[in-house]
Amino acid sequence: MSDGHTHHHPTPPSEAELRTKAIESLLIEKGLLSSDVIDRIIQYYEQDVGPLYGARVVARAWTDPAYKQRLLTDATAAIEELGYVGNHMRVVENTPQVHNVVVCTLCSCYPWAVLGLPPSWYKSFEYRSRMVLEPRAVLREMGLDLPDDVEIRVWDSSAELRYLVLPERPAGTEGWSEEELARLVTRDAMIGVAKVQVPAPVAGGETP
Ligand code: FE
């Protein structure tokens, strides 16, 4: 297990949600923000950002070793280099020996600036509690069966520090462009519940 378990939340989640709602209502009431604007902001993080920004960060790290170094040293600044601002970040790198996975044990802290909005399972009590206690079993249930000799590190995201997994670049992608690589990188791989896969070639027939 890792040292990634400190979690500082100024308020319990339900209260934080209430506060958000209250502030939202107040802003609308004062005419500072219309509900249309809020809907557009939500749409922006749901559809426009999606996990695409994170995928671009990963693809850059795969193709530019100096960028990768900066990303692992100061993720917030390196992510800002690509124009994505909004979260204090740390990036953790998967290797053949170490697999990283991200959870928020208390609520749903998530790097929305690069991944958009979290999937619903990320917010579920089951994921939040079990990923810490039995990550290997949970990952297996989610379709990622890791060999026993791979160390699993679980990182607890908080409002102050959010984690992004730098997945392993899949074999067979030598010479691919940054843009082609970015298309392979999924949200789940950047949370750490999946690996990045190269789709099987159509000519090769269907693999179950
Ligand atoms: Fe949280």
Predicted confidence band of residue 106 (pLDDT cuts 50, 70, 90): very high
What is the rounded CA–CA span in Å between residue 191 and residue 37?
29
CATH number at 129 reads: 3.90.330.10
What's the average model confidence in pLDDT over 50-57?
A: 92
What is the rounded CA–CA span in Å between residue 138 and residue 186?
19
User: Is residue 156 domain-resident?
Assistant: yes
What is the rounded CA–CA span in Å between residue 198 and residue 208?
14
Instruction: Please name the amino acid found at residue 182.
Output: A
Report the SS3 class of residue 201.
coil
38 CB-near residues (< 8 Å, 6+ apart):
24, 28
Range of the domain at 84: 15-191
Predicted confidence band of residue 1 (pLDDT cuts 50, 70, 90): very low
Positions marked active-site? 104, 107-109
What's the average model confidence in pLDDT over 180-195?
A: 96
**CA 98 to ligand 1 center in whole angstroms:** 24
User: Is residue 21 domain-resident?
Assistant: yes
Q: How does the average pLDDT of the chain come out, rounded?
A: 87
User: Is residue 196 domain-resident?
Assistant: no
**CA 206 to ligand 1 center in whole angstroms:** 40
**CA 159 to ligand 1 center in whole angstroms:** 6
Q: Where do we find the tokens 């609520």? A: 107
pLDDT above 70: percentage of residues in the chain: 87
Number of domains the chain contains: 1
**CA 9 to ligand 1 center in whole angstroms:** 7
> What pLDDT score does 4 carry?
45
Is the pLDDT higher at 201 or at 109? 109
Is residue 49 over pLDDT 90? no
Residues having C-beta closer than 5 Å to ion ligand 1: 104, 106-107, 109
